[in-house]
Structure 1
C-alpha cells in the first residue's frame, strides 16, 4: 500500500549548509519531501511539519494549521506542538574566551549582525549575550558592536561598514575579536583592510562558524568554532521524526554544544609579554599531535620545566600540562565529530601512544568515552 510522503518545510532566516545537509540526508532516509524557504513563508503552505531556525510564530503564521502541525525550532520555547533544539551559547562563549585566554589575550571584542535579547529555557538566544555574561563574570574587558542598532532600522551598507570601521579603530590593541555571525565576515575584512590592521598581530579573529566560504577562502584563513551546526541539524530532523511518529517527545529541549576551535592563521599569535613563554606555547600548539611533553617545550624555550609551569600559571592561569591536554582534547573532539577515523588513528594524530591512553585522557576531560561522544554527536 502506498505510504504518504511527509511534507516538511524548512523555514530558515539564515540558510546554512552545515545545518541543512544533515536535515536533507535524514529526510531522504525517512522518505520526506523537503521544501526550503527563507523568511518569506508561502501563504497557506500546507504540510506535515516545519523545521525553523530564528523565525517567530508570528512570522510562521502564514502556514496553514500552524497551531497543530509539528514545529521544531532553534529559538521558540517548547510547548504544545513546538519542540526546541538549542545551541549552547554559553558553551560557545566559554570556548571562544578560553581559547583566547590560552593565547594570552586580555582584551576582547565581538561583532554581531544584531542583538537578539532573551533566553529559551534559561539559555541565551544569541552568543553575544552569553559572551557579555561570561566576560562580565570573569572581569574581562570586552567590547560589543551590533551592525543593526537596537531600534531595528537596518543601515545602508556604507553606514554598516562605517560603524564596523569606527568600532575596530577605537579598540585597544592587540585584541581578540569574535565574529558572532558569519554574515559579518566580509564587511569586517573590508574595514580591516581600510584601516590597515594586521591580522593576527593587531586583531586576532575567531569566527563562530566552520563553513569554508567564511573561514577558508578569506584573505587570512579564519579560525572557527566547529561541531555545533551539523549536530543541531541532525537533532532538528530526529526530533521532527519523533513528532511525526506520534511519540511522546519531552518538552525539555536538546541542547548542543560545540566541539572545538579549529586553528588557522587568523589567531596564530601568542599575546603574552614573556617571550620564552610565547615560544613554549607556540611549540606545544605546533607539536600537540606528536608525543611531546612539557619537558620538550621547556628545553625548546630554554627554560626549566618548573619555571615554565610558573609562567603558565602566572600568565594563563593553568599549568603547561593542562594547556597541552586541552589542545589534544580539542583535536580529538574535532576528529571524532568530522571524520570516520578509528581511535588508533586519532591517537596517532593527537600525541597518544594507544587508543587506551587516548580513551583514559578523553574520559577524564569529558566524563565519557570517545565512542559515546561520537554517537551522541551523530545520533
Structure 2
C-alpha cells in the first residue's frame, strides 16, 4: 500500500521494542542517543514484552517511521501500514526490511575464544535449535573450536520453546540436561545461546553435582545483568553492542526518511566483548580432586575456612593435595583461599555501600586491620582508595563506553 503522508515537521517515529530484557532496553538507549545528536524527532514509545500482541493503535497510526525488535509478531500489520520500518529482530532475519542485527557469527567465535584461552579442549553448546540466531551462534562456535582441532557436542532439547523462550516444562527437561552434562568429558567449556539458557545450564550442573567453573565453565550471551548476577555462580556473558544497534537503526531510518536507499544487506554489529564472572573465571583443571577442592574453596572461602578444612574435604594427604594443587593451578591452596576472599572484597567495595567492617566480615576476614593489610599488599591501594577510584571512573564513563576490562568487557 502507498504510505500515508503526514504534515510537515519533525519525523514522528514509533519505537516498538521489547523492554522486558536488557537487550531491548539497551537498544533504546542507542536510539535515544542518535535522536539527541541528530533530531529533533517526536517519538512514540510504550513498555512492551515479547509476548504482547500488536499495538491496537498501529494499523491507523499517522507516523513516519518504525523501529522494532518485534517484527515477526505483527509483520503483516506493519507491511499494510506502508510506513518505513527498520527490523532489529534476530529471530526472523529474512523479513526483507532494512535491518540491523547482532553479528551472530562473531558472538559464537568470541565465546569459543574465551573458553579456549582458559585452556579448555572439550566443548558443548546448549541452545534452541528452532531459532536461527541460536543455530548461527552454534555454527560459529563449532567452527572456531574445530579450527583449533577440537569437537563440540550439542544438546538436543526434548521440547521446543515458545517464541518468547518459555519452556513447556523445565523441571522435566532439566533431568535430561543434567544427564547430558554429567555424561560429557571434563573439563568442559559450555556455551549457552543466551543468558537464560546459561542460568538453566548452571541449574543442571548443580543437579548433576558438577563443579562450575572447575569442571564445566559456562558462558551465556546478552549480559542480562540481573540474571547473570543472581545466578550461582554468577554467569559470564558475551556483551552484544545493543546501543550501537539502536544508534545504527536510527541512523538507517533517518536516511530512508531522507530518500536514501537502504543497504542491500543486513547490518551486522559485532559484540563488545565479554563480561567475565565466576562461571568461566577459571583455568581448566583436568584433575578431578583439585577441581573439587577449588569448588569447596569457592563456596566456603568467605566463611573463614582454613587449609586443613580443604584437606579434610579432599580426603587425601596434605602433601599430596599441595602437590596436585600446584601442578594443576600454579598456586598454593592458601593463595586460592586468599584470592577468593579478595575477589569478594573488591565486589563488595564496588557494588555496595557497606562499611569496611561489614565487608571484612562478609569476606571471611577476622579483623579489619588484617583485611586492609592484605588488600594493600595485593592491590597497592587501601580499600577506601580502591572504592573511590572505581566510583570516580564510573562517573566519568560515557554511556557507550565499553565496560572495564580487556576486549570491551573481559
Contact map agreement 2:15 2:43 (CA 8 A) in 1: no
> Could you say which structure has the higher strand fraction?
1
Distance 2:88 2:135 in 1: 12
CA distance in 1, matches of 2:117, 2:162: 36
What is the CA-CA distance between 1:204 and the residue it aligns to? 0.9
Q: 2:14 aligns with which of 4, 8, 14?
A: 8
Alignment of 1:174-185 (within 5 A): 174-185=187-198
CA distance in 2 between counterparts of 1:191 and 1:136 reads 26
Distance (whole Å) between structure 1 residues aligned to residue 158 and residue 267 of structure 2? 29
Q: Would the aligned equivalents of 1:206 and 1:225 in 2 still touch at CA under 8 Å?
A: yes
Partner of 2:103: 88
TM-score using structure 2 length: 0.58
Distance 2:57 2:131 in 1: 28
Aligned pairs (5 A) from 1:265-344: 265-271=278-284, 278-279=329-330, 339-340=397-398
C-alpha displacement at 1:175, in angstroms?
Answer: 0.8
Q: How does 1:224-263 map to 2 (within 5 A)?
A: 224-263=237-276
Give the corresponding residue for 2:124.
109
Change (3 A) 1:127 1:67: farther
Task: State the alpha-carbon separation in 2 of the partners of residues 243 and 143 from structure 1.
Answer: 44
Distance 2:8 2:66 in 1: 23
Distance 1:236 1:201, change over 3 A: same
After TM superposition, give the deviation of residue 237 of structure 1 in Å. Answer: 2.4
Distance in structure 1 (CA, Å) of the matches to 2:186 and 2:176: 18
* Matched residue, 2:151: 141
Question: Is it true that 1:199 corresponds to 2:205 in the alignment?
Answer: no
Whole-angstrom CA distance in 2 between matches of 1:138 and 1:265: 25
Provide the secondary structure at the position in 1 that maps to 2:76: coil
Residues 194 and 220, structure 2, Cα contact 8 Å, conserved in 1: yes
Q: Distance in 1 between matches of 2:82 and 2:42?
A: 24
Output the CA distance in 2 between the equivalents of 1:193 and 1:257. Answer: 32
Cα drift, residue 88 of structure 1: 1.7
Distance 2:13 2:107 in 1: 33
The higher radius of gyration belongs to 2
Distance 1:77 1:99, change over 3 A: same
5+ unaligned residues in a row in structure 2: which ranges? 1-6, 287-323, 340-392
**Which residues in structure 2 correspond to 1:44-193 (within 5 Å)?**
45=58, 46=61, 47-53=63-69, 55-56=71-72, 59-63=74-78, 65-75=80-90, 76-77=93-94, 79=96, 82-117=97-132, 126-147=136-157, 149=159, 155-193=168-206
Deviation per CA, 1:163-182, whole angstroms, max 9, x where unpaired?
A: 32232222212111112112
Equivalent residue in structure 2 for 1:221, among 220, 234, 238: 234
Change in 2 beyond 3 A, CA 1:93/1:54: farther
Matched, 1:22 2:38: no
1:254-275 deviation line (CA, Å, top 9, x unaligned): 2211132232222222126695
Classify the secondary structure of the residue corresponding to 2:237: strand
Following superposition, the deviation at residue 108 of structure 1 comes to: 0.8
In 2, the alpha carbon distance for the partners of 1:48 and 1:42 equals: 16
Instruction: Check conservation: 1:44, 1:63, Cα contact below 8 A.
Output: no
Root mean square deviation of aligned Cα: 4.0
Preserved contact between residue 234 and residue 277 of structure 2 (Cα < 8 Å): yes
SS in 2 for 1:216: helix
* Residue of structure 1 equivalent to 2:45: 34
Question: What is the CA distance between 1:112 and its match in structure 2?
Answer: 1.6
| SS of alignment partner, residue 207 of structure 1 | strand
* SS of alignment partner, residue 41 of structure 1: coil
Q: Name the CA distance, whole Å, in 2 between partners of 1:215 and 1:231.
A: 22
> Between Structure 1 and Structure 2, which shows a larger proportion of helix residues?
2
Q: Distance in 2 between matches of 1:55 and 1:6?
A: 19
Q: Aligned with 1:126: secondary structure?
A: helix
